[in-house]
Chains A and B, each alone.
Chain A
Amino acid sequence: MDNAFQAAFQLIVAMDPVLIGIVTLSLQVSLTAVAIASVIALPLGAAIALWQFPGRGLVVVVLNALMGLPPVVAGLMVYLMLSRAGPLGQFGLLFTPTAMVIAQIVLILPIVAALSRQVIEELWGEYREQLQSLGVSRLRAIPTLLWDARFSLITVVLAGFGRASAEVGAVLIVGGNISGVTRVMTTAIALETSKGNLPLALGLGIILLLLVASVNAVAYIIGEAAKRRLG
């Protein structure tokens, strides 16, 4: 353990260019995936919360179940789609950061959609009468609900980010862990473990934790500041 902290500390102090590249790519991939997934999943979750339609129960159960989608399965699905022998093969996206973004979107979209459905449904229970008495349609209510639930939804999005930045199974399959191109923190940790370089692997793990903690801290600070300003 001591060696791991030492390794982490040395890497940070040295500002190792290879490490900086890996950290940048990790953030780039996971933040892009979270942004795209949220843009789709937040309104989707809200829509499921607001509308009654046949088979809604099934949709909710499937969405909730997909929160537990194993990363390696998500990776394999995306691999088969992007492979040259697959339906999207002509784009040549396999073993690129784009493929990793897609795999992470598949992984976190259900999480963000399912959790935001829950949050919005509860809020809708409170707001429904008032909004309907004002003659606001369901479609028009979505932006209001999303805005008023924003603090809870930040946590939802952070849960998605946590999942994206922590998983290794999907990005390893679709990215290929290519040095300097698709190597991210988690695949680098797996590689160092396979070399038996356990202190360095754990050191990278510590850096990844610090990174995720920083993103969460920034989100927390922004949330608190907004709460104070807006009451």
Chain B
Amino acid sequence: MKNVLRNAAVAATALFAATAAHADRDRYITLASTTSTEASGLFEHLVPQFREATGIDVRVVAVGTGQAFEIGRRGDADIVLVHDTTGEEEFVANNYGRERRDIMYNDFILVGPSEDTAGLRDADSALDAFSRIAEAEHPFTSRGDDSGTNRAELRLWGEAGVDPGGQWYRELGSGMGETLNTAAGMDAYTYVDRATWTAFDNRQNLELVYEGDPVMFNQYGSLPLSQERHPDLKHDMAEEWHQWLLSDEGQAAIASYELRGEQLFFPNAE
């Protein structure tokens, strides 16, 4: 089986090498990032500017934060950009990442049916809003996929003293967009990052019902991978991308990205 695969790989590589469009095929890095940054169109805005400045292309693999960490741990990407500060610090502490730097932030919001059955519009805090959903036992769709958004949501349930479960709590195990599609279909509440919500078209009866509590802050961090664990990765080029994101130029590029007239990410590198 392995031999078959190896031969097939060689044959296919030859085939694609012949048709490759780029002469300089190695001037790229692979970035493991989150679906929220990809779906919002941020990378289509940032990558061309970075390429212009450095000649390096960035190939983005957009997955949930949990999977992005796994890709990083296995050394299948050159650098990681995700949004789960606790997980990121652990990633660096376990020596998978070389360092962790704040890049930008936005916030999470709660969306739900326009009638707002559980009364989230009157909630005076995020914890109050989550408690109201649990009390009303109104359907709530959770990512349930160990993504950054899923982790943030579970933390808030915990702080609100709710053990989410039962018929109203629907754990989907899918990406943000699919979760929004499901929420729209069943008129459920859900927890979503503002960027994905802004870019999302299939809202049906869903509306933004709660926003603004500082605990719903959503921080993104950049994590170059450990050189000791993965000596073969493109560390130099990954470092250039990392530094560019932190530079005035990169930070300005992030701030200038707008979708539907709204700024979606706010740079906050130190």
Interface residues of A (CB under 8 A from B): 28, 32, 36, 40, 81, 83-91, 93-98, 101-102, 105-106, 176-179, 181, 191, 193-198
Contact = CB atoms under 8 A, between A and B. Distances in A.
Contacts of B13: 93, 98
A195 B4 CA distance: 38
Contacts of A95: 30, 59, 61, 76
Given A32-B15, A196-B181, 8 more contacts: A36-B11, A83-B74, A94-B76, A97-B12, A98-B16, A176-B61, A194-B181, A196-B201
A73 to B, nearest CB: 15
Contacts of B203: 196
Contacts of B175: 194
Given A194-B39, A198-B202, A102 B60 contact: no
Interface string B18-40: 01000000000010000100010
CB-based closest 7 A-B pairs:
A194-B177, A196-B202, A176-B61, A84-B75, A196-B201, A196-B200, A101-B12
20 contacts: A36-B12, A40-B4, A81-B5, A83-B76, A84-B74, A84-B230, A94-B76, A95-B30, A96-B16, A97-B12, A101-B8, A101-B12, A102-B12, A105-B8, A177-B61, A179-B44, A181-B59, A194-B176, A196-B203, A198-B201
Interface in B231-246: 232-233
Contacts of A105: 5, 8
* Residue among A32, A88, A176 with max Cβ neighbours from chain B (10 Å): A176
Nearest to A200: B201
A81 B75 CA distance: 13
A138 to B, nearest CB: 22
B9 interface: yes
B201 A195 contact: yes
A105 to B, nearest CB: 5
A177 B76 contact: no
Contacts of B74: 83-86
Given A84-B74, A196-B203, A91 B177 contact: no
B180 interface: yes
Nearest to A178: B59
Contact of A196 (B6, B60, B75, B180): B180
Contact of B12 (A85, A98, A193, A198): A98
Contacts of B6: 88
Contacts of A176: 30, 59, 61, 63
Interface string B88-105: 000000000000000000
B110 to A, nearest CB: 17
Nearest to B176: A194
B154 interface: no
B208 interface: no
Nearest to A80: B74
B177 to A, nearest CB: 3
B181 A193 contact: yes
A88 B5 contact: yes
Given A102-B9, A102-B12, A177-B61, A193 B178 contact: yes
Nearest to B184: A196
Contact of A195 (B15, B76, B184, B199): B199
* Residue among A91, A93, A101 with max Cβ neighbours from chain B (10 Å): A101
B82 to A, nearest CB: 15
Contacts of B44: 179
